[in-house]
Amino acid sequence: MSGATRILTVAGKEVLDTIRDRRAMLVTLLTAIAAGPVFLALIFNMTASQADKARELKLPVVGQENAPALIAFLERSQVVIQTAPADYEAKIRAGELDVALWIDPAFEADVAAGKAGTVRLVYDRSRDRARVAINSAESLLAAYNRLWGTQRLLLRGIATEVARPLKVEDIDLATPQQSGSLILFLVAFYGLFASMMGGMAPALDASAGERERGSLEPLLATPITPLQLALGKWAAIGIFDAVVVVLTLIGFYLTLNFAPLPAIGVPFLFGATELARFLWILAPLIALLSALLLYVGMRGRSLKEAQANVGVLLFVFTMLPFVQLMAQKREPAWLLWAPISAQYTLLSRALRGDAIPAIDWLQSALAPALVTVIALFAVARLLSRETVLGARS
Amino acid sequence: MIEVDGLEKHFGKRHEIKAVAGATFRAEDGEITGLLGPNGAGKTTLLRTLATLIAPDAGSATVDGLDVVRDRYAVRSRIGVLSDARGLYARLTARENVRYYGRLHGLGGAALDARVEALLTQFGLSALADRRAHGFSQGERMKVAIARALVHDPATILLDEPTNGLDIMSIRSLRDLLRGLRQAGKCILFSTHVMQEVAALCDTVVILGHGRVVASGSGVELMNRTGRASLEDAFVSLLGSGEGLAA
């Protein structure tokens, strides 16, 4: 009997065993597959409601009657003017109001005297939710300032360039897909996350589980070699992990393409091509994590011990993309050699619609391939150690 | 046939624990050999060595002339092992559990199906064959574990305390099974600390104490040698009366 047949036998048995583990399947499906699209929908709605907020700004004003021209300008700009409650400052501090405008009672008098009229924009910038309203109120006031000044200059026959010698033109180089970087991060991160979570249940069951339930000792007394056993288990974990990744990505694909998500002006590209590219990018990582999880699991004498160790491993791994997101610096060139960071970088590129040269992929796959081979031999070594049999009786 | 010659196995950082300290004995084909000893005598270690799971520190052991270290994979194909740990896969059915081992031993196709079916019938497991092992009783689990160990029809059978946790009915059916295997010319070696098992089954008894073979022979021989009327008394006199407490 060939080694390949034995490896396939082990892989087949492990896959069947995992599929029958209903609770683990359910947890995996929920965390990896359902949570992604749900999270995505939440973020879409949040972004959309912020866009709505900018579009229909409600502005509580103290002393509307002091500057009727300003109020008229704001109303022309689709702002809903409201009378501010007396305790508007407290309400802003409490987060019940986003922003309020206070107009100086002496506004008209100051303007008539040739002085600048005073208005106060009251807000709490530490509130993320209020930021959109604050920004649009600020830019409306700035626009009014410009308009008024320009009109005055024109009345005096002076070109506007005299007062504003600098002309700033905004050119946003982001393609439509590059906007919405949070959603971009989320999709890339979830691709990584799925490849980490997907293999966990079968890896633990095939390693520490096998030791704990006492089925490892009789298994090792059959003619299978430790390396064949390691390869068979690794293949099963990898297959299962790949399936979870595919299902997760299909979940994203369906959500992004067919779910009734609010239009947020971010034509987001995640079609069949991106799905295939994602899989291609994640393949080395799937191989790596399956081998690592198997190794860490096999070192645990019990499921509990193995679970704790695997938890630490996965925590470190899932943190890496966040570190990368927070670091605002340009990505250093060596990053493509580092597992996980490299995959995250490539996934982001795929989402932005950038080309991924084969050499970059090879670079990203090298370290995972090496570590996979080392981990598999380490598992085989563990399996051939006498201590793997556990307590002597 | 099993031949063990001066076998030693040590544990501990400085090899201070001599689990097996120079054991020598033979187990013939067509015979049931009982490895009798108190707890901690080295029975499990000895059987694990024969099952090629651990390597001896000194001495040698062969199964049908094949060395348990050098020819470990050839030995594994010739032995059926019911080890100290005998866990089943709870989410697989009895049939799937047995089939898995059959395939690992290189069987397949209709021959394997027929063999598995025959074993399940022989062990009275037909009704449970396609149920998951999850809810099996201790006796049912034991039967599946033995069927699994015998799936490749091994010439040599090693059983570590096979009657542990079994009720009297299961023990009787196990005895019948072992007698049937002896009839078929197999070499059967099993360990136990239960005297009745030895008396009821064994052609040869190997008494193990502190990792050494204290005595071996048929039950009658041992009784004659010690001048005692029962095997139990023979056992105690061979090991010394303090043995039971020290172990």
Instruction: Assign 3-class secondary structure to chain A.
Output: CCHHHHHHHHHHHHHHHHHHCHHHHHHHHHHHHHHHHHHHHHHHHHHHHHHHHHHCCEEEEECHHHCHHHHHHHHHCCCEEEECCCCHHHHHHCCCCCEEEEECCCHHHHHHCCCCCCEEEEECCCCHHHHHHHHHHHHHHHHHHHHHHHHHHHHCCCCHHHHCCCCCCCCCCCCHHHCCHHHHHHHHHHHHHHHHHCCHHHHHHHHHHHHHCCCHHHHHCCCCCHHHHHHHHHHHHHHHHHHHHHHHHHHHHHHHHHCCCCCCCCCCCCCHHHHHHHHHHHHHHHHHHHHHHHHHHHHCCCHHHHHHHHHHHHHHHHHHHHHHHHCCCCCCHHHHHCCCHHHHHHHHHHHHCCCCCHHHHHHHHHHHHHHHHHHHHHHHHHHHCHHHHCCCC
Nearest-Cα residue of chain A relative to residue B50: A221
pLDDT in tens, A162-194: 777 777 776 655 544 444 566 777 778 888 888
**Stretch(es) of chain A classified as CATH 3.40.1710.10:** 56-163
Half-sphere exposure of B222 (CA within 13 A, CB side): 26
Contact A392 B85 (CB under 8 A): no
Of residues A326 and B72, more confidence is placed in: B72
Contact B19 A16 (CB under 8 A): no
Contact B51 A221 (CB under 8 A): yes
Chain A interface, mutation test: which of B9, B10, B68, B84, most A Cβ atoms within 10 Å? B84
pLDDT for residue B195 is more than 90 = no
Is B117 inside any structural domain? no
Contact A9, B99 (CB under 8 A): no
With a pLDDT cut of 70, the percent of chain B lying above it is 97
Q: pLDDT band at A53, cuts 50/70/90?
A: low
pLDDT at A177: 44
Closest Cα in chain B, distance from residue A9 (Å): 7
Closest Cα in chain B, distance from residue A22 (Å): 10
CATH superfamily for A56-163 is abc type-2 transporter like domain (3.40.1710.10)
Residue B49 CA to residue B134 CA, distance in Å, equals 30
What is this structure's pTM? 0.80
Nearest-Cα residue of chain A relative to residue B83: A218
Q: In what order do the strands lie in the sheet with B58-63?
A: B17-27, B2-11, B58-63, B66-67
Residue B113 CB neighbour total at 10 angstroms? 14
Contact A220 B87 (CB under 8 A): no
Flag whether the ipTM exceeds 0.90.
Answer: yes
Is B106 inside any structural domain? no
Q: What is the mean pLDDT of chain A?
A: 83
pLDDT for residue A134 is more than 70 = yes
Of residues A203 and A55, more confidence is placed in: A203
Closest Cα in chain B, distance from residue A231 (Å): 14
Contact A120, A88 (CB under 8 A): no
Nearest-Cα residue of chain A relative to residue B154: A222
Contacts of B82 in chain A (CB under 8 A): 218
pLDDT at A391: 44
Nearest-Cα residue of chain A relative to residue B40: A393
Residue A157 CA to residue B41 CA, distance in Å, equals 113
Q: Which residues of B touch A (CB under 8 A)?
A: 11, 19, 44-45, 48, 51-55, 73, 76-77, 79, 81-92, 96, 100-101, 103-106, 132, 145, 148-149
Is B63 inside any structural domain? yes
**Best-predicted range by mean pLDDT (A50-54, A341-345, B130-134):** B130-134
pLDDT for residue A160 is more than 90 = no
With a pLDDT cut of 90, the percent of chain A lying above it is 24
Contact A393 B44 (CB under 8 A): yes
From B210, B205, B200, B193, select the one nearest B246 (Cα to Cα): B210
Closest Cα in chain B, distance from residue A212 (Å): 9
Residue A173 main-chain phi, psi, to 5 deg = -85, -5
pLDDT at B80: 95
Dihedral of the alpha carbons of B232, B233, B237, B242, in degrees to the nearest 10: 70
Token pair of B192, please? Answer: 């136990």
Stretch A367-373: mean pLDDT, rounded? 95
Residue A319 CA to residue A327 CA, distance in Å, equals 12
Residue A212 CA to residue A313 CA, distance in Å, equals 21
| Residue B193 three-state SS | coil
pLDDT for residue B245 is more than 50 = no
Contact A303, A208 (CB under 8 A): yes
Q: Which domain holds residue B182?
A: 2-87+154-246
pLDDT in tens, A273-308: 888 888 899 999 999 999 999 999 999 888 899 999
Closest Cα in chain A, distance from residue B111 (Å): 15
pLDDT in tens, A81-130: 888 888 888 888 888 888 899 998 988 888 888 888 888 889 888 877 78
pLDDT at A139: 86
Contact B87 A215 (CB under 8 A): yes
Stretch A208-220: mean pLDDT, rounded? 91
Stretch B178-203: mean pLDDT, rounded? 90
Q: Which residues of A243-279 are buried (b: 16+ CB within 10 A; e: fewer)?
A: ebbbbbbebbbebbeeeebeebebebbbeeebbebbb
Q: Which helix (H) or strand (E) holds B165?
A: none
Q: Detail the DSSP E strand segments found in chain B.
A: 2-11, 17-27, 31-36, 58-63, 66-67, 79-82, 156-160, 187-192, 204-209, 212-217
Is B48 inside any structural domain? yes
Residue A293 CA to residue A203 CA, distance in Å, equals 6
Of A30-44, A145-159, B119-133, the range with the lowest mean pLDDT is: A30-44
Q: Which residues of A touch B (CB under 8 A)?
A: 1, 5-6, 9-10, 13, 16-17, 20-21, 213-225, 386, 389-390, 392-393
Stretch B146-159: mean pLDDT, rounded? 95
Q: Cβ contacts of residue A196 below 8 Å, gap of 6+?
A: A289, A314, A317, A318
Contact A302, A387 (CB under 8 A): no
pLDDT in tens, B8-41: 999 888 888 889 998 999 999 999 999 998 888 8
pLDDT at A152: 84
Contact A198, A240 (CB under 8 A): yes
Stretch A202-215: mean pLDDT, rounded? 91
Nearest-Cα residue of chain B relative to residue A219: B101
Is B198 inside any structural domain? yes
Residue pairs between chains A and B whose CB atoms are closer than 8 Å: 86
Nearest-Cα residue of chain A relative to residue B97: A13
Token pair of B95, please? Answer: 């049939």
pLDDT for residue B226 is more than 80 = yes
pLDDT at A225: 94
Contact B175, B62 (CB under 8 A): no
Stretch A62-69: mean pLDDT, rounded? 88
Looking at the DSSP assignment, which residues form a beta bridge with residue B188? Answer: B32, B157
Q: Which residues of B66-79 are buried (b: 16+ CB within 10 A; e: fewer)?
A: bebeebbebbbbbb
- Structural domains in chain B (count): 1
Is B159 inside any structural domain? yes
Angle between helices A303-326 and A181-197 (to 10 degrees): 160
Q: pLDDT band at B246, cuts 50/70/90?
A: very low
Stretch A139-148: mean pLDDT, rounded? 87
Is B28 inside any structural domain? yes
pLDDT for residue A64 is more than 50 = yes
Q: What is the mean pLDDT of chain B?
A: 90
Is B34 inside any structural domain? yes
Closest Cα in chain A, distance from residue B92 (Å): 7
Burial class (CB in 10 A: 0-12, 13-18, 19+), B17: middle
Contact B53 A221 (CB under 8 A): yes
CATH classification at residue B231? 3.40.50.300
Of A261-270, A332-341, B102-111, the range with the lowest mean pLDDT is: A261-270
Contact A215 B19 (CB under 8 A): no
Stretch A354-369: mean pLDDT, rounded? 90
Contact B55 A386 (CB under 8 A): yes
Contacts of B44 in chain A (CB under 8 A): 392-393
Specify the long-range contacts of residues B106-109, CB closer than 8 Å, at least 24 apart.
B106/A1, B106/A5, B106/A223, B106/B77, B106/B152, B107/B151, B107/B152
pLDDT for residue B42 is more than 70 = yes
